[in-house]
Structure 1
Amino acid sequence: MKKNKSILTMFIALVILITGCNDEFLTREPEGQFGQPSLQTPEGVRSLLIGAYAMIDGSGLDGTADWNVTVENWAFNLASDDALKGTDAGDQPEQSFIEAYDFQAFNGHINNRWRSLFKGVARTNDVITSANAIEGLGDAEKAQIIAEARFLRGIFHMEARKMWRMPPYIGDDVFDINDVNSTLVPNDREIWPLIEADFEAAIAVLPDTQSDVGRPTSWAAKAFLAKSKMYQGWNEDGSANTAKLQEAKPLLEDILNNGPFSLVADFEDNFLVATRNNSESIFEIQYAVSSAADQASSRGMGLAHPYTDPWGCCGFYQVSQNLVNAYQTEDGLPLLDTFDANDVSPDTNADGTSVVTTTLDPRLDHTVGRPGILYKGFKIYQTDFVRDLSYAGPFFSKKHVAEPEGFGIGGWGNLTANNYRYMRLGMVILWLAEVEVEIGSLERARELVNLIRERASNPDSWVPRTIQGSDRNDFTVVDGEAAANYEISQYSTPWTDQATARKAVRFETRLEFAMEGHRFWDLVRWGIAAETLNAYIASESQHRQYMAGKSFTKGKHEYFPIPTQAIDRSFKEGVPTLTQDPAY
């Protein structure tokens, strides 16, 4: 396969140069400290920037597993109502604790996510301080390098702020590569304004287009700035912070009305290798087909593949019955209040086809692997895709898996060329719909939601009906027939009730972005995590017995505890610089 020109594919040689054999677990080096001499030449600074990009996906972080730190955040999205840990009960018990809201400060997944984000922060600061210190960079290139580094620094801190109630912000003003104490910054302030400042600085310098795929544009910086404001758009009690939403609105409108983006006609094009970097994409994490010489691949998603051939590992990141049920429709519209009253059956007929005859949103079968439905062009999905049917049920995740043409190697790594669509136009549209609801423009919100639903209604994009052959890998596609009784329509009746409109927009957000690593944090930012997730536990535990007795505690489980290791390593003059979240 022809590889995209990607900044991540240049990372392997650099990680050897920068990280060497350093073992962070055996040193007192504080988190956020880069720990190796900077490369004080123009080419060295450019290489340092590439290394900072690589930390978006946690690449090159020694002493950890890739799935702890991947940008898709799937191991932490297990705390949502979309996903189950999957595999079997004994595999990766730390994920079982996350799924059960037993968040512990010594959990390795939580610790490693902290390490990866603040390693990324350190690299961006090293880029900025080095670019300012050396000679040989032209003014324009220096400004561009610093703007890209600030964009990345904003992302790292944003991801940290999503995870923790009060993480520190570490800027280049306190960063000194020669002073191990320079990054011991207290977590005693709200960091959202500093995150916004990084994105604003990036907007002022970054170009509208980039020649290198994977580098951010001013449009990407605007989108992430808008996202930071959307995450501040609700108070913890669920009431709207309309001032922040009003700040987000012009950014979102500018991207939608003036940006070079458009919704692709086929919903699935957002999840195929063949359609990476399409017209809907604002910022993608670039991956390439794996080979012995090229490991710039989605390693962090390696465990989250079906247990059957051709993947062979490992069965993590299965799908809840609750999410599958959410795709049921009546007269083409979602069942906002009653979707979970009846289950979408996983059973199949004698010929292997699904028994389900109720009407369904067609996005279901681009999001979820379910029995009797073609799975990414590999084979018809059956329950042999899952590792332990009695433990985590019959459904599996699908969006991140590459189609056959984009599949790299077999084995546990399952490295693929399927990019992660970190920011796409659909997000901008539904964020704008959220804003319009809260400021009272309900009809504009309905129009925006209908843009998303109109795209999903394109029959050319629906999964086709297939007939199983005599061999498990053999199937025939039936031309002109859909795999299920798909029915989806637009909201034709004017919206006059704000509460109903709000519910419709949030429900659409779940349907559109399910299993992409956003759901848990959407529930948190809306202030509805406790009520939603406790209702989910009551329902899902009827199918997954291991969930019985679990609960989500309001005011605590919206955020994770600061890792014990980070606090222990933050001591300065006998006093820890970092303080634990009072909820823990």
Structure 2
Amino acid sequence: MNKTFLKYVCGVGFAIGIVTACKDEFLTRDPQGQYSPTALKTPSGVEGLLVGAYAMIDGNGLDGQDSWNNDIQSWVFGGLASDDSYKGTDAGDQPEQSFIEKWDFQPTNNHIKNKWRGLYKGIARTNDVINTLAEVPEVADTRRAQIIAEARFLRGLYHFEAKKMWKTIPYIDENTYKLDDLESTKIPNDKDVWPMIEADLKAASEGLPETQSQAGRPTKWAALAFLAKAYMYQGWNVTTGAVNLPALQKAKPILEQIIATGRYTLAPKFEDNFLIATRNNAESIFEIQYSVSSASGDAADQGVGLAHPYIDPWGCCGFYQPSQNLVNAFKTDATGHPLLDTFNDSDVKNDQGLKYSDPFEPYTGTLDPRLDQTVGRRGILFKDFKIHGSDFIRDQTYAGPYSPKKHISEKAGFGINGWGNLSSNNYRIMRYGMILLWLAEVEVELGNLENARKLVNQIRTRAANPAGFVKKAVQGTKSRDDYTVLNEPAANYLIKTYDAAWADAATARKAVRFEERLEFAMEGHRFFDLQRWGIAAETLNKYVAVEQTKRVYKKGAVFTKGKNEYFPIPQEAIDRSYKAGAATLTQDPAYK
């Protein structure tokens, strides 16, 4: 994606609860430049507005607010609120994230507030594109249709991300939003917005090309993939878990159509989804593009910038640490299958309480090899840097011995200023593996268990490719950077396909969902998967009952069914929605 982000003029950014005044400073990317209102009403001006609409995907365009609140990787909400991870760092750092981790969601939480602001600012920008384009007749019809399709894709995506977060939201399109009426977007959140999100994504799929010459712009297939995802999120009651077959039946032909194109395939190695050298590969359907070409690092992956190890070359800040529960989920039995019901009965051995220089006997049981592509743990080489140890962790006593790994760049992705926390490691927001496993979910509910098993086995076959296993490294004596990599696996990896038929739908369902956790762990999806399946309360309360014995700050945490599946609407947004003396936004009754 082009990283030349536009500077906005007065009026851009109006949305529910957001008023962006005229400013002399702008949201800039190299090269810097200034656009007047007249300049915007030109073909190049419209293209600039469109690029600006993309800016909110990575969260870096929120008027200087912390990008982690609005980053589409959603680790604060999809990760910390799940059983995948802890807040990490130390007890005093970002306490509002601790409230999210313990499901104490408050309308005044700044992370929740800024997530709302960022998404609705993104929506406002897409509407600016469409409204301004209508005043620029010079744009050729073919390009005009594609601009509208890109804007509607982004608008559908931003509304979709909002719908995941909040039970009821306002849907704002170009007809709602009036530049000369500051109250035009103060509308109620009393409608079912799924049909409107679907309409945007359908329209985008009809107007977008099947391929794009510029990486980072969506294709027809990306729009269809997100449309299928929208149906998948309507596939179960979020409180009871009751299945909604009509929604899943709508998703199925779209998923099958994407597969049938033959355009996408699983990358040869699992790690290819997390390396700079393999960006925009055959598995990637839509990928957020990052760059470290500028000294400012503005185009880098800032949203997870503080979720890096505490050791050199990062030095900050230790957020987003994987949970022991997640690590245990990667254990396998003697047949190479996951322990679906008993994985958390005992822990994978760790170095809690040990210095990196202390002797350590590693865990010798069998493991899914994806563990060491997902989690940094003692004795395993961390990307191409150092062998992991306690010096990677800011406060091991508080948040445990593990580090996040997927989003961390290799050395080649460091910014030109040399700071590793800003990298050019893209985020694969939509990839082919998701399509396969979503179709497997649908097939289970429709009774097609054999097809579901075959789909899951495609994922497991790729994971079992020994070329993708992390290799054993032996520490040298000169420094922490002195190590030798051996041509042998780093741990006792054992993973096999499911060769026997699943006994029933309940077994199949459990296996498919467990596979999704293993495949997509620490990518910001887990909380929302538990939410959409309607099993968040039972899963997370069972999780915290054990985890609080390891992380004492979790004592007393309770996930309240019928409430904590969604976040409260920010109080700021409600306060700013007043019109004719009354708020147009209504708080989720569970939070009143």
Look up the match of 1:3: none
Hey, what's the Cα distance between the residues in 2 that align with 1:520 and 1:30?
A: 25
State the 1:511 CA deviation: 0.1
Q: For 2:337, give the aligned amino acid.
A: L
Report if the CA contact (8 A) 1:162-1:521 is conserved: yes
Moved more, 131-140 or 427-436: 131-140
Hey, what's the Cα distance between the residues in 2 that align with 1:154 and 1:412?
A: 34
Look up the match of 2:202: 200
Indicate which of 334, 338, 343 corresponds to 1:339: 343
State the 1:294 CA deviation: 5.3
Look up the match of 2:17: 31
Change (3 A) 1:326 1:576: same
Determine helix, strand or coil for the equivalent of 1:256: helix
Look up the match of 1:304: 307
TM alignment of 1:170-209, pairs within 5 A: 170-209=172-211
State the 1:257 CA deviation: 1.7
Determine if the alignment matches structure 1 residue 473 to structure 2 residue 481: yes
Moved more, 259-268 or 193-202: 259-268
Hey, what's the Cα distance between the residues in 1 that align with 2:147 and 2:443?
A: 36
Indicate which of 14, 18, 40 corresponds to 2:8: 18
Look up the match of 2:28: none
Determine if the alignment matches structure 1 residue 455 to structure 2 residue 457: no
Moved more, 57-66 or 286-295: 286-295
Hey, what's the Cα distance between the residues in 2 that align with 1:329 and 1:141?
A: 52
State the 1:323 CA deviation: 0.2
Indicate which of 367, 376, 380 corresponds to 2:374: 367
For each residue in 1:327-357, what CA deviation from the matched residue of structure 2 results, as whole angstroms up to 9, or x when unmatched?
0000200000000001001138988665100
Determine if the alignment matches structure 1 residue 577 to structure 2 residue 567: no
Change (3 A) 1:351 1:307: closer
Hey, what's the Cα distance between the residues in 1 that align with 2:420 and 2:68?
A: 11
TM alignment of 1:2-151, pairs within 5 A: 6-7=1-2, 9-11=3-5, 14=6, 17-18=7-8, 30-31=16-17, 39-76=40-77, 77-151=79-153
State the 1:498 CA deviation: 0.4
Hey, what's the Cα distance between the residues in 1 that align with 2:366 and 2:564?
A: 35
Q: For 2:4, give the aligned amino acid.
A: M
State the 1:66 CA deviation: 1.3
Hey, what's the Cα distance between the residues in 2 that align with 1:474 and 1:425?
A: 38
Hey, what's the Cα distance between the residues in 1 that align with 2:262 and 2:43?
A: 32
**Identity score, percent:** 61
State the 1:240 CA deviation: 0.9
Determine helix, strand or coil for the equivalent of 1:477: strand
Q: For 1:57, give the aligned amino acid.
A: D
Hey, what's the Cα distance between the residues in 1 that align with 2:552 and 2:305?
A: 27
Look up the match of 1:323: 326
Change (3 A) 1:29 1:432: closer
Moved more, 264-273 or 181-190: 181-190
State the 1:259 CA deviation: 4.2
Determine if the alignment matches structure 1 residue 419 to structure 2 residue 419: no
Q: How many residues align?
A: 569
Determine helix, strand or coil for the equivalent of 1:296: coil
Hey, what's the Cα distance between the residues in 1 that align with 2:214 and 2:181?
A: 34
State the 1:134 CA deviation: 2.0
Q: For 2:165, give the aligned amino acid.
A: M
Look up the match of 1:512: 519
State the 1:410 CA deviation: 6.9
Hey, what's the Cα distance between the residues in 2 that align with 1:260 and 1:32?
A: 40
Moved more, 186-195 or 132-141: 132-141
Hey, what's the Cα distance between the residues in 2 that align with 1:308 and 1:247?
A: 48
For each residue in 1:3-33, what CA deviation from the matched residue of structure 2 results, as whole angstroms up to 9, or x when unmatched?
xxx32x212xx2xx3169x999xxx985366
Look up the match of 2:393: 386
Report if the CA contact (8 A) 1:302-1:412 is conserved: no
Hey, what's the Cα distance between the residues in 1 that align with 2:224 and 2:19?
A: 28
Report if the CA contact (8 A) 2:574-2:585 is conserved: yes
Change (3 A) 1:145 1:456: same
Look up the match of 1:232: 234
Hey, what's the Cα distance between the residues in 2 that align with 1:68 and 1:214?
A: 21
Report if the CA contact (8 A) 1:290-1:416 is conserved: no
Q: Which runs of 4+ in 1 moved over 4 A?
A: 32-38, 348-354, 409-413
Report if the CA contact (8 A) 1:303-1:413 is conserved: no
Q: For 2:98, give the aligned amino acid.
A: S
TM alignment of 1:556-571, pairs within 5 A: 556-571=563-578
Q: For 2:346, give the aligned amino acid.
A: N
Gaps (5+ residues) in structure 2?
A: 23-36
Q: For 2:161, give the aligned amino acid.
A: E
For each residue in 1:501-555, what CA deviation from the matched residue of structure 2 results, as whole angstroms up to 9, or x when unmatched?
0000000000000000000000000000000000000011111011011100000
Aligned-residue CA RMSD in angstroms? Answer: 1.9
Q: For 2:485, give the aligned amino acid.
A: V
Determine helix, strand or coil for the equivalent of 2:8: helix
State the 1:291 CA deviation: 3.1
Report if the CA contact (8 A) 1:68-1:109 is conserved: yes
Report if the CA contact (8 A) 2:155-2:200 is conserved: yes
For each residue in 1:374-410, what CA deviation from the matched residue of structure 2 results, as whole angstroms up to 9, or x when unmatched?
0011110001101001000001110000011112267
Gaps (5+ residues) in structure 1?
A: 1-5
Report if the CA contact (8 A) 1:261-1:280 is conserved: yes
State the 1:313 CA deviation: 0.3
